Structure formats: C-alpha cells, structure tokens
Amino acid sequence: MSKPFIDVAAGLILKPDGALLLGQRPADKPWPGWWELPGGKIEAGETVLQALARELKEELDIEVTHATPWVTYVHEYPKNIVRLAFCKVTGWNGNPTGLEGQNLAWVDPQAPIAVGPLLPATEPPLRWLKLPSQYLVTSIQHPENLEPYLAKLKKAINRGVRLVQFREPEWAASGHAGSLHQAFEHVLAVCRATGAQCLLNSVHPQAWWAQADGVHLRAQDMLSFKRDVFPEQYLCGVSVHNQAELEQAKQLDADFVVLGHVCPTPSHPLESAMGWAEFAELAGQAGRPVFAIGGQSAQTMAIAQEHGAHGIAAIRGLLPE
C-alpha cells in the first residue's frame, strides 16, 4: 500500500541578525510537542509562496512581504511522504503569535538548537543554514600572483566571504607544480586564521584532500569519491551543469551543488549560458542548497535567490577590485 504524498510550504522566518523562528506542534496534532518550521499544505491552485503566505497568516498572524524559494526536499515519514518547499522569509508585517496555541522560539541556527526534539524533516534545513551564501573560487594561476592574491583574499573574507575553494588547474599546468601545494597551504592558513572554510577542488591530488575542510568535486570525479573515508563534518560540494550530473550529485548525497554557468562569463567564452529559467528548474530538483555560478557577483545575489539559489559562487565577482 503506497503512502500518501503531501506537498508542504515551510518558512524559515529569519531576522536580520540570523535568528530563526521555530514552532512547537500542538498536542492535538501528529508528532505533538516536536519543534518544526512554520507552514502547511499547499492547496490546489496555489503557488508555493501563496501557500506559505496564507499558512503564516493563519498560523502566526503575520503578513509576508518578502520570501524567496530555497530548497525543495522530500522526507518519508512512517505514515506519509512529504515534499517540503522550504522558503526563506526575510520580510513580514506583524509580530509572530501562536494562533493555534503553539509555543514559539527564536533560535540561533549557527549554534546548538536550544529547543527540541526537532521534527526529522526540520533537521536538514537547519544544517544547510550554516552554509555561507558566498563561495569564492580561487584563480591565482602563477606563483608571482600569490602574495597580491592573499591580500585580496583577506579583504574578501573581511567583507563576508566564509567559503573558499582552492582551484588552480592553470598553475598545475604552468610548469610550477612544485610550489602549488605550498600555495594551497597559504590559502588554507588565511582561511583558518579568519574563520572561513576552505575546500579543495578534486583536480588536485587526493593526498591533499584531508587537509581541507572539504572537497569540491568536478562532475567527472563524482563516481570515484568515497564519502565514508572522511569525517562527518567534511563538506562535499559538486559542480553540475545538467540534469544527469545533478542526479549523480543527489545519489552521492553532496552537501551542496554549484550549478551553471548561468550568465555569460569570461572563463567560458565559447559556451552558451543556461539562463535563470533553466537554473531555477534544476535548482528546484536538487534537494540541497545550490550556488549559482557564471557571471555572478554581490550584485546578482538577490536575483539568484529569487530563482532558488542558496547563494552565489564566483572567481572574480567576490574579490575586491
């Protein structure tokens, strides 16, 4: 006998300081006493954002003024299967009030959650929220560029970049491969000293991978990656460009994907860009955070998030001039 399938819109109601609103399920509902993200079923004819706005008005007596799609995630419970369209809510009118008698709590998603137990489907988005929204990809290219790049990297981190990918295929092919590992260690040291995480692209030797906070896999390297070799907190990102690669990333259970290129970019001058419509369609199927790449900068963050991106990845667009 097949389980009922339910479509739900769920809101991550976020204050400017990052505080997140959780609600406790009332005693007369399934999973009583468990904590969850506010939201409810999507009715026939409603869009996700329409359903979310209606549910938050009925549940919390707030009027949503700004919300963006984020991650759509399927979770199987003992009695049903729920497809949760998680959305970030960053603007609303009114003061959230538990109209159904439920307790509410503002929590810090970057710290251990002070309430519980958490509904199982609530745990993944709380983990994803810890992922920074700006992902800088290095392009140092040559030993003589290292010192000025490190200075720019420090400035970028001071401006808010907290996730960095070391990716230097040009350096590796330039005849100076012997100094490349030292360059990686310099970048890693800057990240560690400033609280940023550093991932290593899989183009570089596997012997280096354990030094980093995670690995960023090229699409062609997904099938050979053994996730259980690394600690649980080790991040795994994947570059994807199409539906087939996205499905592979899902099978791997990557922490996030980088999807593109979305807009024209100097690094791929002969390749056509997918555009925002295709990006949004694929991002909606990822089941995990998605970074937009290709022609991205701080100025495109808002449009990327309107199309379901967690954030943006960029080589030049996140570096200071």
DSSP state of 228: G
Q: How far apart are CA 288 and CA 70, in angstroms?
A: 9
Distance of CA 199 to the CA centre of its chain: 14
The per-residue pLDDT for 114 is 92
Instruction: Give the largest CA-CA distance in the chain.
Output: 69
Supply the angle between the helices 180-194 and 146-158 in degrees, to the nearest 10. 20
Q: Based on the domain organization, do 110 and 242 belong to the same domain?
A: no
Q: Based on the domain organization, do 56 and 104 belong to the same domain?
A: yes
Is 145 part of a structural domain of the chain?
yes
Q: Based on the domain organization, do 109 and 145 belong to the same domain?
A: no
Is 129 part of a structural domain of the chain?
no
Q: Based on the domain organization, do 181 and 161 belong to the same domain?
A: yes
Is 268 part of a structural domain of the chain?
yes
Q: Based on the domain organization, do 230 and 120 belong to the same domain?
A: no
Q: Based on the domain organization, do 119 and 87 belong to the same domain?
A: yes
DSSP string, 8-44: EEEEEEB-TT--EEEEEPPTTSSSTT-EE-SEEEPPT
**Contact criterion met (CB below 8 Å) for 267 and 293:** no
Kindly report, residue by residue over 151-207, the tens digit of the pLDDT: 999 999 999 999 999 999 988 777 777 899 999 999 999 999 999 999 999 999 999
Give phi and psi for 30, each to the nearest 5.
-55, 150
Q: How far apart are CA 290 and CA 137, in angstroms?
A: 15
The per-residue pLDDT for 52 is 98
Q: Based on the domain organization, do 94 and 212 belong to the same domain?
A: no
pLDDT reading at 109 higher than 70: yes
pLDDT reading at 240 higher than 90: yes
Q: Based on the domain organization, do 160 and 285 belong to the same domain?
A: yes
Q: How many CB atoms lie within 10 A of CB 297?
A: 14
The per-residue pLDDT for 301 is 97
Place of tokens 């667009």: 317
Which CATH number does the domain housing residue 84 bear? Answer: 3.90.79.10
At residue 1 the predicted structure's pLDDT band, cuts being 50, 70 and 90, is low
Is 256 part of a structural domain of the chain?
yes
- Is there a cis peptide before residue 261, judged by omega within 30 degrees of 0? yes
Rg (CA), the chain: 21
Q: How many CB atoms lie within 10 A of CB 160?
A: 12
Structural domains in the chain (count): 2
Q: Based on the domain organization, do 193 and 248 belong to the same domain?
A: yes
Mark which of 124, 151, 176 sits at the end of a domain: 124
Kindly report, residue by residue over 197-211, the tens digit of the pLDDT: 999 999 999 999 999
Q: What whole-number percentage of the chain has pLDDT above 70?
A: 98
Give phi and psi for 67, each to the nearest 5.
-145, 145
Kindly report, residue by residue over 246-288, the tens digit of the pLDDT: 999 999 999 999 999 999 877 667 678 999 999 999 999 999 9
**Contact criterion met (CB below 8 Å) for 125 and 71:** yes
What lies within 8 Å, CB to CB, of 148 at 6+ separation is: none
Q: The pTM is what?
A: 0.95
Q: Based on the domain organization, do 115 and 140 belong to the same domain?
A: no
Instruction: Tell me which long-range contacts 296-305 makes (C-beta under 8 A, separation of at least 24).
Output: 296/260, 296/262, 296/263, 298/134, 300/263, 301/133, 301/134, 303/276, 304/262, 305/68, 305/70, 305/88
**Contact criterion met (CB below 8 Å) for 262 and 294:** yes
**Contact criterion met (CB below 8 Å) for 126 and 152:** no
Determine the residue type at 231. P
Is 52 part of a structural domain of the chain?
yes
DSSP string, 174-237: TT-GGGHHHHHHHHHHHHHHHT-EEEEETTS-HHHHTTSSEEEE-GGGGGG--GGGS-TT-EEE
Q: How far apart are CA 96 and CA 92, in angstroms?
A: 9
Is 252 part of a structural domain of the chain?
yes
Is 320 part of a structural domain of the chain?
no
Q: Based on the domain organization, do 142 and 115 belong to the same domain?
A: no
Is 29 part of a structural domain of the chain?
yes
Closest by CA position to 249, among listed 234, 238, 261, 233: 238
Q: Show the domain range for 276.
A: 134-314
Which CATH number does the domain housing residue 249 bear? Answer: 3.20.20.70
**Contact criterion met (CB below 8 Å) for 200 and 166:** yes
Mark which of 68, 89, 124 sits at the end of a domain: 124
- In sequence order, the β-bridge partners of residue 255 are none
The per-residue pLDDT for 27 is 87
Q: Based on the domain organization, do 120 and 160 belong to the same domain?
A: no
Mark which of 124, 142, 175 sits at the end of a domain: 124
